[in-house]
A and B are shown apart, each in its own frame.
Chain A
Amino acid sequence: MKKHNVLLLFFVLLYAFCLYVYLGLYSLSYWSLLSNQLYLIPPLLAVLGGLYAVTRYGKGNPHGRALLYFSLGISALFVGELLWLYYEHILGADPFPSLADVFYIVSYPLMIIGIFKEIRISNRKEQLPSWKVAIPVALLIAVSSFYFIYQAYDYEASLIENTFSMGYGLGDIILVVAGVYIFRIMRDYSGGRMASAWLMIGIGLILTLIADVLFSFFYQQYEESLYAYAQIDLVWSLAYLFFSYGLFKIGFIIDDIRQKVIKSCG
């Protein structure tokens, strides 16, 4: 069985377990602590996937540097998740606004820097002229700005709360743009194994965006842990698993090619 299939099987089983725990098929007192710890596993796996891919490329490699920025973004998300749980479940304090939000928000620019660096390496000159991408991106930004930033503003909230809320809105716009560009990377690698790895990362971004939008629309219900709304965490968990799988897959592709040449050398 190939490494990426073993990993896929592990992720499917892990996610099935997450579903079991998060959908409440458990006795609450014992499992609630577990579900919080369980939630940290997918982002941790995404960080490990990033480290694995970066080390396969080696220091100084342009793809490695691009993935390093992307992985730092995911690491910031992981630290944000850790701090969020610390504030909410150990200190018993409201985690918004807090240091956790700083890490969440910092993750967006880091991820987009990584994606732009990857695009600069991967794009061929004869590809689409930039305006054909720029127009849909500008439209997406215009629509997203209204939903993500303007609607995030709350006249009754404090300045810090509004700054963070709008920061998330801006971050989600960054995710929309990043999603568009990831599909450009995929098209550039069309027919190659790297395309499928980047597809996984792209799906991870889309799922993150969906979870962020659901969270901003249903924040109140989420905070009250109402059934179905609290399960937005499942979407984020799935996003992290897609990131992780895509990043590990990049590392596995490099390993496979190395093994081939080592075998050929006898």
Chain B
Amino acid sequence: MVDVTVPKKDLLIKYGVQLISLHLGDMTGDLYREFYKDKNNGIIITSLREILSEVVGPAKAEYEMKKILNKIK
């Protein structure tokens, strides 16, 4: 499991939305950018994991999440 206490919220949203845009289109990415604005990091990470797991499967979701969290460390 990856640490969920990530301080850099702007970067988390940026990379998370990029990932959503890649797998679900730019319009979906824009909707999530709005949704994440007032959410804390823990909720954003849980939400990203859930969406990605549902769409591309848990293994790929975890792989993508690791990449994001490593980028913003």
- Interface residue ranges, A against B (CB under 8 Å): 56-58, 60-64, 121-122, 124, 126, 188-195, 253-254, 257-258, 261-262, 264-265
Contacts and interface: CB of A to CB of B under 8 A. Distances in A.
A63 B23 contact: yes
Given A191-B57, A193-B54, A257-B55, A63 B22 contact: yes
A254 B26 CA distance: 11
B1 to A, nearest CB: 17
Nearest to A124: B63
Contacts of A191: 53, 57-59
B10 interface: no
A189 B52 CA distance: 10
Interface residues of B, number: 24
A61 B25 contact: yes
Contacts of B32: 261
A136 B55 CA distance: 29
| Closest A-B pairs by Cβ, 7 of them | A192-B57, A191-B57, A192-B56, A57-B25, A58-B26, A58-B25, A261-B31
A192 B52 CA distance: 8
Contacts of B27: 58, 258
A148 B30 CA distance: 48
Interface of B: 21-28, 31-32, 34-35, 51-61, 63
A190 B56 CA distance: 7
A135 B63 CA distance: 27
A263 B44 CA distance: 16
B38 to A, nearest CB: 10
Contact of A194 (B26, B34, B35, B55): B55
A190 B59 contact: yes
A189 B22 contact: no
19 contacts: A57-B25, A61-B25, A63-B23, A124-B59, A124-B60, A188-B57, A189-B57, A189-B60, A190-B59, A191-B59, A192-B52, A192-B54, A192-B57, A193-B55, A194-B55, A253-B24, A253-B55, A254-B25, A265-B35
A56 B59 contact: no
Task: Name, among B28, B35, B61, the residue most crowded by chain A CB atoms within 10 Å (CB to CB).
Answer: B28
B26 to A, nearest CB: 5
Nearest to B31: A261
